[in-house]
Structure 1
Amino acid sequence: MATPPISRYPVPELESLPQDIRTRILQVQDKAGFVPNVFLALARRPEEFRAFFAYHDALMEKEGGLTKAEREMIVVATSGANQCQYCVVAHGAILRVRAKNPWIADQVAINYRKADITARQKAMLDFALKVAQESHRIGDEDFAVLRSHGFSDEDIWDIGAIAAFFALSNRMANLINLRPNEEFYLLGRLPPEKKA
């Protein structure tokens, strides 16, 4: 059986890409050991690639009241609700690595309310899901609940912005039929191989 394409749109050759995008992709490859398919699929539109990853990095790599694992929890929970296979698989792998927990991503993707996470994290995900699916219903009471769990207004902005950004990402991944890399499926589930 032939491997399906990674996107329903053509994927550019690495050598044909602008230098800054090619450099970014090679840096990711050096760090991860492979190139996540989202980089190749979005590279077909260089300006959008740059904007997408600049906003991604601004949300996901910053310091603040949310840990990097909690940021990934938001992505996994909302992507599960939005039925985005690529983001659940890819960010589930990142969540397992960042949380150092091989089970957490599956729990959060399927039903975070039953996951082995804190009440604070469940409140965070309740709000993230509301942003992703019913943002028109957000009210002051939602902020009050989050504040009661110790989230600052800046943290609440981050939760909402991550949920909103990945709602876009989920829809684009579904639009282009983005296929997860096989490497993601085992990442964070098994102990890392020791290098000689």
Structure 2
Amino acid sequence: MPTQRYPLPSLDNLPADIRARILEVQDKVGFVPHVFLALARRPAEWRAFFAYHDALMLKEEGRLTKGDREMIVTATSAANHCLYCVVAHGAILRIYEKNALVADQVAVNHRKADITPRQRAMLDFAMKVCQASHAIEDSDFTALHAHGLDDEDIWDIAAITAFFGLSNRMASFAGWQPNPEFYLMGRVPKAKA
């Protein structure tokens, strides 16, 4: 298995705002996802990355659920052959959808996955943005409108796809490995305290 090509910085050596955010994540999920430390080696880029991430993935407006958003990331990350994002976001997808199988199905072939027709149309569009954005046509919008998605929702699908295209490429070239904890999340019931 390839190794991480850039050493992870020590949490103690990070700027206070970044360290505080990473500790919040650690308190919430029980570990520090490698992406938080890997990007922290360049604090200005870390701040920009997570500001855009949060604007796309944590927003309350629109018709995309958190599960929809993670589904987009998982499917397009698989198309980009990004191990880190498929495993990490697949874990989050399993949790949001309360379905231990959906992430694997979506990562392998969303057209055969046990998802709604609306989600299938959403992923068809995301995959086209991922693999052939130059070929997007008005008919692609019409197909999504038929499922109740408006132009702002379509922008969100495209923006999530594009943003994680950047993330996929960073993770792959740098050799980021998924934390072992991600593999079981949403598959095995969480231990009760």
Using the TM superposition, give the Cα deviation of residue 186 of structure 1 relative to its aligned residue in structure 2, in angstroms: 0.2
What percent of counterpart residues are identical? Answer: 69
Match of 2:39 in 1: 42
Offset from partner CA, 1:8-31 (integer Å, 9 cap, x none):
012111111000000011000000
Letter of the 2:80 counterpart:
N
* Ranges in structure 1 where 5+ consecutive residues have no aligned partner: none
Using the TM superposition, give the Cα deviation of residue 192 of structure 1 relative to its aligned residue in structure 2, in angstroms: 1.5
Residues 101-120 of structure 1: pairs in structure 2 closer than 5 A: 101-120=99-118
The question of whether the paired residues in 1 share the 8 Å contact of 2:2 and 2:175 is answered with no
Letter of the 1:114 counterpart:
K
TM-score, normalised to structure 2, is 0.97
- CA separation in 2, counterparts of 1:118 and 1:14? 42
Root-mean-square deviation (CA, aligned residues, Å) is 1.1
- CA separation in 2, counterparts of 1:52 and 1:156? 21
Offset from partner CA, 1:145-196 (integer Å, 9 cap, x none):
110111011100000000000011001101101000000000000111111x
The question of whether the paired residues in 1 share the 8 Å contact of 2:122 and 2:144 is answered with yes
Residues 144-163 of structure 1: pairs in structure 2 closer than 5 A: 144-163=142-161
Letter of the 1:73 counterpart:
M
Residues 35-184 of structure 1: pairs in structure 2 closer than 5 A: 35-63=32-60, 64-184=62-182
Q: 1:11 aligns with which of 8, 11, 27?
A: 8
- CA separation in 1, counterparts of 2:108 and 2:125? 17
- CA separation in 1, counterparts of 2:130 and 2:18? 29
Residues paired across the two proteins, number = 192
